[in-house]
Chain A
Amino acid sequence: MIAMKVSKNELTASLRKAFESLGFQPGDYYDAADMVVWLGTHGFDGFDRLLSVLNYLNTTSPSHADLIEEKEGNFVLDGNETSILLCGSEAVDLARSYAIQGSSARVEVINCYNRTFILQRLIKAAQRDLAFLAYWRQQDYCIKVTVSPRAKLPVYQTFMLNEQFDPQMLRIFSGTNVAQLEAEYAEHLQMGAMIDDYPMEMMKACYIDSLDQGIEIDVTLWNTLDDLVSRVLVQSTEESRAGAGD
């Protein structure tokens, strides 16, 4: 890989335009860019994940999740094979719309991909004094994410699978505090032995380094983004130059 350094601001701006070129709407491309940048600046290999997502999004029209079930704070969304970049915000918003009123909420998103990107949405939502738990299956492991109210970083742990479950599902729980969620949803949170715990110190160090030195990104990916960005640009003509003041 040939790497280059980019700033957080220019990466965010480039991603927004790239997602816009893929048919994302204004709210979606803002959220999606934030999700990617968060992973990329906190040491989560966000850009490796992004390349595969871009290939997929480039061949499909953006689609969102459908709410297929709802009962007293329990929601089921069908992701329709789409990326969390497109339906993650809706899932988290549903959870917090219920949890903010004092009750706990559970949102299950089925048929969705790229679930690690949900981290940024959970952190952002937690700033409104809410706790979040989320988990999903990744190959033969289970990823569990815990975000305390107002926390700036998540607890990110990998567990052995205790039981087989839908490989394309994401479960999100939200409430007033983590302990309450752990207790209330204990039956859903039975996992095997923990095999990895990504320390918050490393996330923080990675973020500080990204800001100070720039974010390292594969030149190929950057060029791919540039190509996508060029799709939102309009061909220049003598007449169009007049539209800028000539």
Chain B
Amino acid sequence: MKNDPHTTELYSDVAQLPLRPASKVMQLERLGSFHQSRLSFMRTLVRHMVTENWLISRVLFELDTEGYGTVIYEINAKYGTYSFVVFSHYLDPENRNDRVISNQWDLTMALCEGSVSEEQLEFLKVNVPKQEAGRVNSRVLVLSRANRSARTFNYVVNSLAHGHQPDTDIIAEVGYLYRTTAAYGSGKLGMADWEKVWTKHRDFARPFAAEMFTCYMLRHFSIQQAEYLALQASPQTGVPLNSDLKRYIGIGNSTGLGMAPFLINHPLLINQWIEMRETALATVVAFNAAGVDESTLKRLAESTGRVVQHLGEIVTADERQHKANAAVRKELDLLHLWLQEQGPKLANNHYVWSSLIQYAEQHWLVETQEVINTLLIELYPELVDGFEEQMWVEEIYEVTPEMMVVDLIALIEEKYDWALAIDFSLQESRGAFWYRSEEKMEPRLGKTHIDMGMEKAMPLGIGYRVRLCYDQLVGYNQSCPKQNVAHFIVKNPTFSGIVARVQTMALTYYGDIRENLIHQDVLPIHLLRCKLSFFGVSKFDPRSRLWVRNTMFQGAPLISDFDQPFKDEWQFPIKPVLHID
């Protein structure tokens, strides 16, 4: 692997960092309790944009009085120039749908390399609004689309047109003016390959950086469009949006099952993300092994109070999430009060973070534990921010053909004990299957022996595949002892894929996600949330066990803040108290 998880250059005194074990971290429920951290891609992107003072200018703003038309922003980043092109279209409200299978949107967008010529603009005008039904070229880095929020967009425009600011409570309830339903990159539909982005466009040479930037620019456009429409509606009374409210406006996002297969099909990348997050946590814990000072304890108390307020402001119709938020708030409130009361005493007594982590693990919910871990990472930017450059790894699986079969059997028993512990003879253990629909290849979850398409199931049941391979290996080893893996594969070629995966993942610290993804009661929502936490979203609002709404960039600095002093502390956004601009 690229990084030895046990050591870090950032804190070289620690030879062996106390990383949490895979058996704890790789449980799906825990992964589904992760929150945004300093290493999340939005956070990293914002740090770079602000500290490198990216210059973003509007080079074309051709909208009619209804807000429909074309807008181009040119971005001069540290290493290159890019263009963000927006097409705003009329959309019948009846056709406004967040599903992947939709084919009409309020906005369609493209992030392109360089400046956009008239010729290229014409090309984009034809293809970008079609999204999956169109083709773009390798000058395009990201393709995206978004729909207006029925609850906030017109409300905000009307408020501004009448000369007053929108109600903060209404903004808080939704959190955005537009909701993006997809942001495609990595070479889809003829776009630039990730390898090209990584090697040629250093500004976006981190996972999903270009996709996140597209969403950030969407947020910027959404505010500019609302202000423009307010002035169009009432030039005399129209006012701009208050800056604090602007910062509090994010971008909505709907994420469905499409993200789940990505996690299973990129286990090395997911391991890398988790390894870096856990290394950051372990570094923080090790750094304070002699005791935490009073001011840091005070900062934790403040940020804990902030999370309590943040969770209290989340509106969700999902009962499970609502209860979880309430329970986490209650536990964090206890922590907040305790830190406030005991802070000085704890500092004097050389209190260490490992004690807090241990207490939380013994007494509090998994979700509370993960909020605390995120907050601890947040306290030490100088220790953890450097890990942002190590969030990518190439997804290459390799068979180790010289390994003896008996050693591979032992490896599976050690690393995939969780898979061997599942009784796959039970009907419920294989009660679900994953498949791709003919509708835009949308991934869907079917019920075994009930729904159509089992014969076309995607091989996402890693645990089951490991079990089958293990049984085959054991049988082979009995009939042909002392053979190596190359011989096993020649005799059993259909197992080469899972053998490569097992042998490759065994070299990583965290390995595969430890969950039976074909169990009838599988909760894909945890997979979605895990990935979204690494993106950096907040305010999870599950709409079912299969898809979740959330908010991106809420609380993040505005473009107008880029040349201002910057404190990277916008996670867990809370309702602003408005100041007059």
- Encoded as 1 (CB less than 8 Å from any B CB) or 0, chain A from 81 to 112 comes to 00000100110011011101100000000000
Closest to A213 in B: B138
Question: How many whole Å from A74's CB to the nearest CB in chain B?
Answer: 14
Q: Which of A53-61, A163-171, A230-238 contacts B (4 or more CB under 8 A)?
A: A230-238
Closest to B484 in A: A97
In the complex, what distance in Å separates the CA atom of A97 from the CA atom of B403? Answer: 8
Return the contact of A245 from the options B397, B487, B546 (Cβ within 8 A). B546
Say whether A6 contacts B190, CB under 8 Å: yes
Closest to A8 in B: B193
- Encoded as 1 (CB less than 8 Å from any A CB) or 0, chain B from 179 to 198 comes to 00000001111111111100
User: Any chain A CB within 8 A of the CB of B521?
Assistant: no
Say whether B444 contacts A96, CB under 8 Å: no
Q: Which of B39-47, B53-61, B450-458 contacts A (4 or more CB under 8 A)?
A: B450-458
Question: Which residues on A are within 8 Å of B, measured CB to CB?
Answer: 4-10, 25-28, 30-31, 64-67, 77, 86, 89-90, 93-94, 96-98, 100-101, 124, 211-214, 230-237, 239-241, 243-246
B window 404-454: CB within 8 A of A: 435-439, 441-446, 451-453
Say whether A234 contacts B135, CB under 8 Å: no
Chain A to chain B: the 3 pairs with minimum beta-carbon distance, closest first: A27-B497, A7-B187, A9-B187
Given contacts A100-B402, A101-B402, contact A30 B187 (CB under 8 A): no
User: Any chain A CB within 8 A of the CB of B154?
Assistant: no
Name 10 extra pairs, CB < 8 A, besides A28-B493, A31-B496: A25-B497, A28-B497, A97-B487, A211-B193, A211-B195, A230-B438, A233-B456, A234-B452, A244-B546, A246-B99
B window 80-112: CB within 8 A of A: 99-101
Say whether B442 contacts A93, CB under 8 Å: no
- Encoded as 1 (CB less than 8 Å from any A CB) or 0, chain B from 469 to 505 comes to 0000000000000001111011101111111100000
In the complex, what distance in Å separates the CA atom of A5 from the CA atom of B196? Answer: 15
Return the contact of A243 from the options B451, B487, B498 (Cβ within 8 A). B451
Given contacts A6-B190, A233-B437, A245-B543, contact A64 B493 (CB under 8 A): yes
Q: Residues of B contacting A8 with CB < 8 Å? A: 187, 193, 195
User: Any chain A CB within 8 A of the CB of B199?
Assistant: yes
In the complex, what distance in Å separates the CA atom of A233 from the CA atom of B101? Answer: 14
Q: Residues of B contacting A212 with CB < 8 Å? A: 138, 196, 200
Say whether A89 contacts B496, CB under 8 Å: yes
User: Any chain A CB within 8 A of the CB of B459?
Assistant: yes
In the complex, what distance in Å separates the CA atom of A145 from the CA atom of B54? Answer: 48
Question: How many whole Å from A222's CB to the nearest CB in chain B?
Answer: 10
Closest to B492 in A: A64
In the complex, what distance in Å separates the CA atom of A230 from the CA atom of B192? Answer: 24
Q: How large is the interface on B (under 10, 10 to 19, 20 to 34, 35 or more residues)?
A: 35 or more
Say whether A243 contacts B444, CB under 8 Å: yes
Q: Residues of B contacting A100 with CB < 8 Å? A: 401-402
Question: How many whole Å from B87's CB to the nearest CB in chain A?
Answer: 22
Report which residue of B446, B484, B490 has the largest number of chain A beta carbons within 10 angstroms of its beta carbon.
Answer: B490
Q: Residues of B contacting A65 with CB < 8 Å? A: 490
Return the contact of B486 from the options A6, A9, A97, A237 (Cβ within 8 A). A97
Question: How many whole Å from A11's CB to the nearest CB in chain B?
Answer: 8
User: Any chain A CB within 8 A of the CB of B399?
Assistant: yes
- Encoded as 1 (CB less than 8 Å from any A CB) or 0, chain B from 243 to 265 comes to 00000000000001100000000
Say whether B188 contacts A244, CB under 8 Å: no
Return the contact of B196 from the options A211, A230, A240 (Cβ within 8 A). A211
User: Any chain A CB within 8 A of the CB of B398?
Assistant: yes
Closest to A237 in B: B452
Say whether A244 contacts B256, CB under 8 Å: yes
Say whether B485 contacts A97, CB under 8 Å: yes
Say whether B437 contacts A234, CB under 8 Å: yes
Say whether A77 contacts B138, CB under 8 Å: no
Question: How many whole Å from A246's CB to the nearest CB in chain B?
Answer: 7
Report which residue of A31, A93, A97, A100 has the largest number of chain B beta carbons within 10 angstroms of its beta carbon.
Answer: A93
Question: How many whole Å from A213's CB to the nearest CB in chain B?
Answer: 6
Question: How many whole Å from B266's CB to the nearest CB in chain A?
Answer: 12
